[in-house]
C-alpha cells in the first residue's frame, strides 16, 4: 500500500516506471507496481523529473521591480545602486510577503530547491531575518539554502564583515562574497582569502559572486581555486557568474581550467542575467558575457545554471521557470547536440543538485518524494516547449497541478486540437 503512485511516466534517463511513495519518501521505482495507493497520478506519455533546482537566486530582492524606480541603464552597477535605495525603505513584512509570493510561483513550476544569496550589508540584517523566517515557512515544500552575501563588498563596506559573521551566527548556510566589487584587485583577492578561511573555520560551503564583469583581467576565480585547495574546500566551493572568463585571453584560460578542476570548484553561470547585463559598455561586436560552459564541462568541472533574478533591480522579467534559464543557456553556449541538450536539462536538475550539495535528491527508493510531471515526452522536448507542470509533488504531497496547454483548432480537414509535442518519425 502506497500513499501515492505516479504511474507510467518517462524518467529523464528514458526508463518508463511507476513511482511509489510512502510518507515523504520514494519507496519503489519499478516498471509496474501492482499495489493499492491512496492516490494515483497517471503520467503515461509524460516526463517525470526530480524537481528543478535553482542554485543561484536573490530572494530578498525578488518581485521588487519598479521599487522605487526601474534600472534605466540596464547595468549591474546601476542595479546595485538601485538596490541600495530600496534597502533604505524596505520592511520585514514586505520582504517576507514578496519572497513567499515568489515561492508560490516556484512551487507551481516544480522548482523545489533554491540557493538564495541574502544581502548582509545592512546593520539591521532585515533581509537575513526575513529570509530565515521564509526558509522555515516554506520548509514543507521548498528547501531554501541561504548564502551570506555582502553585496557592497565585505571590505569596501565598513560593517559588512561583522554583519556577514552575524548572519552566519543566525543560521545562514553558506559564505558568499563579491571580490570584483572591492576597491582594487588586491582587495578583491584578499576578500576571497578571508571568506574562504571563514568557510573553512566553520565547516561551511563557499559560493562567491566571482568576476561578474567584462574585464578580462578580473581573475578572482584563480584565487578562489587556490584557496579552495589550500583550505580543503574541494567539492564545496563555487564560483558564481564567472563572466570575465568570456573575455579572458585563451592562453590564460588554458591554464585556469585545470586549476579549477584540480581545486574541485564548481561553476554557476546565470544565462538570462549574464546575457542581459554584460557587454553593456561595448559597441560592436558586443560580448555575450556568459562563461565558457562547454569548456568547463569538458574539464570535468560541474556546471549548474542559475536564475539569479526575477523582477528586481537587475532583471525586468523572469518566471520561476528553470526551463527558461536552461533554454537561454543552451542557446548562448550553443549546446545543441542531443547530449548537450540533455546536459542543459541536468544543469537545472540533477547536476545542479550536486553543485549545491543536496542530499536525498533524485528518483530512487529512499530519496525525498519530490518530483514534477511535465507535459513533454523527454528532457529535450521539455526544453523546447517549456511546458505545463501537470503535477508537482513536494515531500510526498501534491502541491500544484496545471492543465495541458492544448489548443482547440478549427481548420478544415485537420485535427480538432493540437499539442506541440515533437512528432514520432514516420514517412520520409
Residues annotated catalytic, as ranges: 212
> Closer to Zn ion at the Cβ: 317 or 418?
317
Smallest separation (angstroms) from Zn ion to the CB of 281: 19
Site mask for Zn ion (CB under 5 A), range 260-299, x = bound: ----------------------------------------
Within residues 329-368, the interface with Zn ion by CB under 5 A covers none
Strand partners, 239: 208, 267
Burial 137-167 (b: 16+ CB within 10 A, else e): ebeebbbbbbbbbbbbbbbbbeebbebbbbb
Q: What are phi and psi of 409, to 5 degrees?
A: -115, 145
Strand partners, 162: none
Within residues 300-319, the interface with Zn ion by CB under 5 A covers 308
> Closer to Zn ion at the Cβ: 119 or 308?
308
Chain residue whose CB lies nearest Zn ion: 308
Site mask for Zn ion (CB under 5 A), range 34-73, x = bound: ----------------------------------------
Size of the site for Zn ion (CB under 5 A): 1
Q: Nearest 5 degrees, angle CA 138-CA 207-CA 169?
A: 60
> Closer to Zn ion at the Cβ: 49 or 274?
274
Smallest separation (angstroms) from Zn ion to the CB of 228: 19
Closest among 330, 336, 421, 328 to 381, alpha carbons compared: 421
Smallest separation (angstroms) from Zn ion to the CB of 56: 6
Smallest separation (angstroms) from Zn ion to the CB of 59: 11
Residue carrying C-alpha cell 510531471: 373
Distance separating alpha carbons of residues 188 and 195, to the nearest angstrom: 11
Smallest separation (angstroms) from Zn ion to the CB of 102: 15
Quote the distance between the C-alpha of residue 93 and its chain's center. 25
Q: Nearest 5 degrees, angle CA 61-CA 67-CA 71?
A: 85
Smallest separation (angstroms) from Zn ion to the CB of 117: 6
> Closer to Zn ion at the Cβ: 157 or 308?
308
Q: Which whole-number Å values give the CA distances from 259 to 102, 225, 226, 307, in the listed order?
A: 37, 6, 8, 26
Q: Is 1 strand, coil or helix?
A: coil
> Closer to Zn ion at the Cβ: 108 or 316?
316
Closest among 424, 316, 351 to 55, alpha carbons compared: 351
Smallest separation (angstroms) from Zn ion to the CB of 204: 18
Closest among 176, 112, 66, 143 to 371, alpha carbons compared: 112
> Closer to Zn ion at the Cβ: 37 or 310?
310
User: What does the block give as the cell for 177?
Assistant: 562574497
Q: Is 188 strand, coil or helix?
A: helix
Smallest separation (angstroms) from Zn ion to the CB of 265: 17
Q: Please report, in angstroms and rounded to a whole number, the separation of the first and last CA atoms in the chain.
A: 47
> Closer to Zn ion at the Cβ: 122 or 308?
308
Site mask for Zn ion (CB under 5 A), range 94-133, x = bound: ----------------------------------------
Concatenated DSSP letters of 123-171: TT-HHHHHHHHHHHHTTTT-EEEEEEE-TT-TTTSTTHHHHHHHHHHTT
Cβ–Cβ < 8 Å for 388, 402: yes
Dihedral over Cα of 306, 309, 310, 314: its sign: negative
> Closer to Zn ion at the Cβ: 308 or 324?
308
Site mask for Zn ion (CB under 5 A), range 367-386, x = bound: --------------------
Three-state DSSP string of 153-165: CCCCCCCHHHHHH
Binding residues (CB under 5 A) for Zn ion: these are 308
Amino acid at each position: 500500500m502506497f500513499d501515492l503512485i505516479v504511474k507510467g511516466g518517462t524518467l529523464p534517463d528514458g526508463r518508463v516506471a511507476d513511482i511509489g511513495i510512502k510518507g515523504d519518501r520514494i519507496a519503489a521505482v519499478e516498471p509496474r507496481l501492482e499495489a493499492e495507493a491512496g492516490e494515483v497520478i497517471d503520467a503515461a506519455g509524460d516526463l517525470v523529473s526530480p524537481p528543478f533546482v535553482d542554485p543561484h537566486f536573490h530572494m530578498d530582492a525578488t518581485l521588487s521591480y519598479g521599487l522605487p524606480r526601474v534600472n534605466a541603464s540596464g547595468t549591474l552597477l546601476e542595479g546595485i545602486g538601485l538596490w541600495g535605495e530600496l534597502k533604505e525603505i524596505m520592511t520585514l513584512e514586505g520582504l517576507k510577503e514578496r519572497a513567499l509570493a515568489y515561492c508560490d510561483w516556484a512551487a507551481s513550476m516544480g522548482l523545489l530547491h533554491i540557493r538564495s544569496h541574502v544581502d548582509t550589508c545592512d546593520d539591521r540584517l532585515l533581509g537575513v531575518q526575513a529570509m530565515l523566517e521564509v526558509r522555515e515557512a516554506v520548509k514543507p515544500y521548498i528547501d531554501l539554502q541561504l548564502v551570506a552575501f555582502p553585496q557592497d563588498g565585505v571590505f569596501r563596506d565598513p560593517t559588512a564583515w561583522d554583519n556577514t559573521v552575524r548572519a552566519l551566527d543566525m543560521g545562514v548556510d553558506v559564505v558568499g562574497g563579491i571580490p570584483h566589487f572591492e576597491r582594487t584587485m588586491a582587495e578583491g583577492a584578499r576578500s576571497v582569502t578571508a571568506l574562504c578561511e571563514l568557510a573553512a573555520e566553520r565547516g561551511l560551503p563557499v559560493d562567491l559572486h566571482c568576476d561578474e564583469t567584462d574585464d578580462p583581467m578580473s581573475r578572482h576565480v584563480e584565487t578562489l581555486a587556490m584557496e579552495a585547495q589550500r583550505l580543503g574546500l574541494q567539492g564545496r566551493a563555487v564560483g558564481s557568474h564567472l563572466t570575465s572568463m568570456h573575455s579572458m585571453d585563451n592562453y590564460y584560460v588554458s591554464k585556469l581550467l585545470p586549476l579549477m578542476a584540480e581545486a574541485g570548484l564548481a561553476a554557476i553561470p546565470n544565462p538570462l542575467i549574464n546575457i542581459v547585463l554584460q557587454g553593456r559598455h561595448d559597441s560592436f561586436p558586443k560580448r555575450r558575457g556568459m562563461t565558457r560552459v562547454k569548456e568547463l564541462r569538458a574539464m570535468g568541472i560541474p556546471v549548474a545554471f542559475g536564475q539569479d533574478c526575477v523582477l528586481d533591480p537587475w532583471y525586468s522579467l523572469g518566471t520561476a521557470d528553470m526551463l527558461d534559464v536552461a533554454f537561454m543557456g543552451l542557446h548562448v553556449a550553443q549546446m545543441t547536440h542531443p547530449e548537450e541538450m540533455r546536459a542543459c536539462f541536468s544543469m537545472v536538475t540533477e547536476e545542479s543538485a550536486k553543485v549545491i550539495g543536496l542530499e536525498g535528491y533524485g528518483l530512487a527508493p529512499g530519496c525525498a518524494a519530490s518530483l514534477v510531471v511535465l507535459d513533454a515526452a523527454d528532457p529535450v522536448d521539455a526544453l523546447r516547449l517549456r511546458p505545463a507542470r501537470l503535477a508537482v509533488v513536494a515531500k510526498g504531497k501534491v502541491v500544484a497541478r496545471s492543465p495541458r496547454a492544448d489548443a482547440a483548432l478549427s481548420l478544415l480537414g485537420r485535427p480538432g486540437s493540437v499539442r506541440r509535442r515533437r512528432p514520432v518519425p514516420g514517412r520520409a
